Chain A
Amino acid sequence: MRTRFIETLCRLAQEDDRIWLICGDLGYSVLEAFRDRFPNRYLNAGVAEQNMTTMAAGLAHSGKIVFTYSIANFPVMRCLEQIRNDVCYHNLPVKVVAVGGGLAYGTQGYTHHGVEDLAVTRVLPNMTVFAPGDPWEAECVTESAAALPGPCYIRLGKAGEPVVHEERPAFRVGEPLTLRTGTDVAILSTGGMLVTALAAAQLLQEKGILASVVSVPTIQPFSDTAFVFAGKPAAFVATVEEHAEGGLATIVAERIAFGGYDTRLLPFRLGREPLSVAGSQEELRAMKGLSSQAIASNIHQWLST
């Protein structure tokens, strides 16, 4: 995803000289493409995310469209007040990009697990929050982020995620993307869990359960059409996210309550307890029940009761 992100950003910057990129001294082997092509619109702010973010606000206040870039929590948590006050309150076109969201930096420990980012960004004023599920979605949300007049947050995976969409999807900000249809259960996935959600749906099909799979690349704003199909809410919804409380499951629960929908919800997500052991992304996901096998098995059991 990060590769598609920087390719897309370079293309956009070629067309629009208002686009800037500021990094917090991270981006080795990724950002060079932008740095070398647009040296006057690129800045390494040093290991100083607070300054990076508010400086981006200052540039944006002066007519620039500024992408800030760092890994996991660093461009979000360290500078959350800067995002809240300087970027969001002033409604400025600063686009905060976190690469390696979720458990992508699995072995590096909890400091590098970006697992509360969606919860904190989605409640900020004027903020649009993206968590693309594959490189195509990463390209689409990068384009939309550049075009939107206000602040955005983009949670990216790392590199090497498989392409899920066979072709460029018909992406619109705030709209879900349906990858598979099925009438027994709707599986909603955000961010890098999309492949796992699809694999779970396949396993369920082998057990005779037909699952729809819906990718939710835009967390905020969120459209109920992610689980209300043609005006009819799905009876059973499972959410899949590499995130703690406050993310997709919480949003869907709110929507079910506010909409008065006759829908049952089964969340697959991380708990509030930090993961304090090493492991690859896949291993850590599995420890928290975020493998396709565990998801399929739990949905099967849930629907059987």
Chain B
Amino acid sequence: MTINNAIATSTRATQLRAHALRMVHAVNASHIGTCLSMADLLAVLYGGILNVHPSEPQWPNRDRLILSKGHGAAILYAALAEAGFFAVDELATYCQKGSQFTGHISHHIPGVEVSTGSLGHGLSFGTGMALASKADGLNWRVFVILSDGELDEGSNWEPILLAPHLKLDNLIAIVDYNKIQSFGRVDEVLPLEPLKAKWEAFGWEVQEVDGHDHQALHATLGTIPFKPGKPSVVIAHTIKGKGVSFMENELAWHYRSPNELLLEQALAELGCNS
């Protein structure tokens, strides 16, 4: 079963990558690298981990997902479309004049809980939601996807300090640890290591995972909470630009958008020629 799930979500991740590439290409948008690094995470989350009803986005007992790294909007829109929250055709309006599909994630889109874009907000938002779920005796969970560079924001360390104190084992942070931030490599700009030890020291239960290994992601995300009474954090080791050889581990693809030729090359590598 797990292997079948992994195959299905792996195929889905490739679709999401192709969507995101076409979307940023169409409007010359930035941030394709960060989209590609979390394609597998989103495919797995919406491929059986998150308890959501796409036909009823506001279903009260849904699991909440917050994309705190709001600049990765394109691929979350793609994931929501493929999950059935809205028609895939609507992705074509991404960043077009008058479209609600803004370049940073927008809560005006079905399935999106929270608008982000300024870094360091999502985990606090999720902490409040998880507290509400607990206070009401409900079982819904909150997943917050953070970037690595985002952890430079001091505001993150306030909920990292508080959530264990509140014993919020329905709160799950996922760090898309692709090792490249906005203007350089994480280990050069502001090193995070030892990252696992930092979260552990603050009272979180930590698991590290290969963020592109679908079997490992299903196994890890399927066993939350890692420890009752403690919030969980998944440090997902990823590759910025994953899946397109010339984008992988290249800072430039935080900003660049593929032209027609490079889009075709990228889609060909994914096996998604249009």
Chain A contacts to B: CB under 8 angstroms: 40-41, 43, 45-46, 48, 50-51, 53-64, 66, 81-82, 85-86, 89-90
The reply to whether the CB of B210 lies closer than 8 angstroms to some CB of chain A is: no
Q: How far is the CA of A45 from the CA of B159 in the complex (A)?
A: 9
The reply to whether the CB of B8 lies closer than 8 angstroms to some CB of chain A is: no
| B133 and A51 contact, CB distance less than 8 A | no
Q: A51-B162, A58-B125 are in contact. List 7 more A-B contacts (CB 8 A).
A: A46-B162, A54-B125, A54-B127, A58-B130, A58-B132, A59-B128, A66-B128
Q: How far is the CA of A82 from the CA of B116 in the complex (A)?
A: 10
**Given that A81-B118, A89-B115 are contacting pairs, would A50 and B158 also be in contact in the complex, using a CB cutoff of 8 Å?**
yes
| A85 and B127 contact, CB distance less than 8 A | no
The reply to whether the CB of B175 lies closer than 8 angstroms to some CB of chain A is: no
Smallest CB separation, A289 vs chain B (Å): 39
The reply to whether the CB of B155 lies closer than 8 angstroms to some CB of chain A is: yes
The reply to whether the CB of B232 lies closer than 8 angstroms to some CB of chain A is: no
Contact of B125 among A55, A63, A81 (CB under 8 A): A55
Contact of B124 among A60, A82, A90 (CB under 8 A): A82
Q: At the interface, is chain A mostly helix, strand, loop or mixed?
A: helix
Smallest CB separation, B131 vs chain A (Å): 6
User: Chain B: interface residue count, which band?
Assistant: 20 to 34
| B158 and A85 contact, CB distance less than 8 A | no
| A51 and B135 contact, CB distance less than 8 A | no
Which A residues touch B115, using CB under 8 A?
85, 89-90
Interchain residue pairs A-B with the least CB separation, the first 4: A58-B128, A62-B132, A54-B124, A51-B158
Interface centre among A40, A43, A62 (most CB of B within 10 A): A62
| Binary A-proximity of B95-138 (CB < 8 A = 1, otherwise 0) | 00000000000010000011111101100111111111101100
Q: How far is the CA of A57 from the CA of B127 in the complex (A)?
A: 10
Which A residues touch B133, using CB under 8 A?
62
| B126 and A58 contact, CB distance less than 8 A | yes
| B114 and A90 contact, CB distance less than 8 A | yes
Smallest CB separation, A100 vs chain B (Å): 23
Contact of A62 among B107, B116, B129, B161 (CB under 8 A): B129
**Given that A82-B121, A85-B115 are contacting pairs, would A61 and B161 also be in contact in the complex, using a CB cutoff of 8 Å?**
no
| B118 and A58 contact, CB distance less than 8 A | no
| B132 and A50 contact, CB distance less than 8 A | no
Which B residues touch A45, using CB under 8 A?
158, 162
Which A residues touch B162, using CB under 8 A?
45-46, 48, 51, 55
Smallest CB separation, B271 vs chain A (Å): 39
Which B residues touch A43, using CB under 8 A?
131
Q: How far is the CA of A48 from the CA of B154 in the complex (A)?
A: 10
| B132 and A63 contact, CB distance less than 8 A | yes
Which A residues touch B121, using CB under 8 A?
54, 81-82, 85-86
5 CB-based A-B contacts, threshold 8 Å: A54-B125, A55-B124, A59-B131, A61-B114, A90-B115
Contact of B127 among A55, A64, A89 (CB under 8 A): A55
Q: How far is the CA of A6 from the CA of B251 in the complex (A)?
A: 52
Q: How far is the CA of A45 from the CA of B165 in the complex (A)?
A: 10
| B161 and A48 contact, CB distance less than 8 A | yes
